[in-house]
Amino acid sequence: MVLENISSTVNNPSITIVYDNYLYKEGLATGWGFSCLIKGTEKTILFDTGGDGSILLENMKKLGIHPKDIDIIVLSHIHGDHVGGLVSILETNPDVIVYLPKSFAQGFKQDVMRYGAKVVEVQESLKICENVYSTGELGTWIKEQSLIIHTGKGLIVITGCAHPGVVKIASTSKDLVKDDILFVMGGFHLAGESRKRIEEIVLSFKKLGVRYVGPCHCSGDAARQLFEKEYNRYFINVGVGKVITLEDLR
């Protein structure tokens, strides 16, 4: 499926990492998992919710982010390190729309709706709000969606854990929204992979024309180091407290 009528772009998005196992800004807490807040788009979006609600809320508080600022929550996949903080957000702000893969357990969806939140089940790729899209469910054993932000400089692709394969996610995003890939960030699921395999993925990114990279969470130290070596100044050090804008992606 190719997304239709894609004509405009986001001019000034910002992405704040509010939960990760890598630290960028001192004074914040780390935890196994991932979450980031996207502003400057039509709606304010929280992508994933980390593994621990108390850590998520405390980091958000220190970063000056209130749960009531959030309009939409996008959950990449059902693993606890990506949905564990959801209840803490819903307890403070149930007036959100939660986009989650259709494959999520029915009980999970019902629990979300009990808080008063609206649930949108995602199977195929779809538009979430102006210039923001879901890849739709990808993968077989573990179904996962990723987020695409269409900026004036190209596509920003945000992954949760990239279980379906980070190269597949990137290439799918490029096929769905016909533009170059400016930046891929999030969990690349490469911890424990061989150096050879990681080098193959770096090469595939280069062939796809991925301009900037920001591997974090489950990417692993070896992958982060190899990506940084190959991408040099086009490598973004992603961790809790990092704020990424188009100024960083020149």
> Does a structural domain hold residue 8?
no
Q: What is the pLDDT of residue 230?
A: 96
Q: What is the pLDDT of residue 9?
A: 80
Using DSSP bridges, classify how beta strands 45-47 and 72-74 pair: parallel, antiparallel or unpaired: parallel
| CA–CA gap between residue 180 and residue 23 (Å, rounded) | 29
Q: Which pTM value belongs to this model?
A: 0.96
Residue 209 sits in a domain whose CATH number is 3.60.15.10
Q: What is the pLDDT of residue 5?
A: 53
Cα dihedral sign, 226-231-232-233: negative
Backbone angles phi, psi at 183, to 5 degrees: -155, 130
> Does a structural domain hold residue 202?
yes
> Does a structural domain hold residue 137?
yes
> Does a structural domain hold residue 250?
no
Q: What is the pLDDT of residue 7?
A: 57
- 4 pLDDT exceeds 90? no
> Does a structural domain hold residue 2?
no
What domain count does the chain have? 1
At position 7, the amino acid (one-letter code) is S
> Does a structural domain hold residue 6?
no
SS3 assignment, position 84: coil
CB contact at 8 A, 128 and 45: yes
> Does a structural domain hold residue 97?
yes
SS3 assignment, position 32: coil
Q: What is the pLDDT of residue 247?
A: 94
| Mean local confidence (pLDDT), 75-88 | 97
Q: Provide the domain limits for residue 177.
A: 14-240
Q: What is the mean pLDDT of the chain?
A: 96
Residue 6: band (very low, low, confident or very high) from pLDDT cuts 50, 70, 90: low
Site of tokens 């179904």: 143
> Does a structural domain hold residue 43?
yes
Q: What is the pLDDT of residue 130?
A: 95
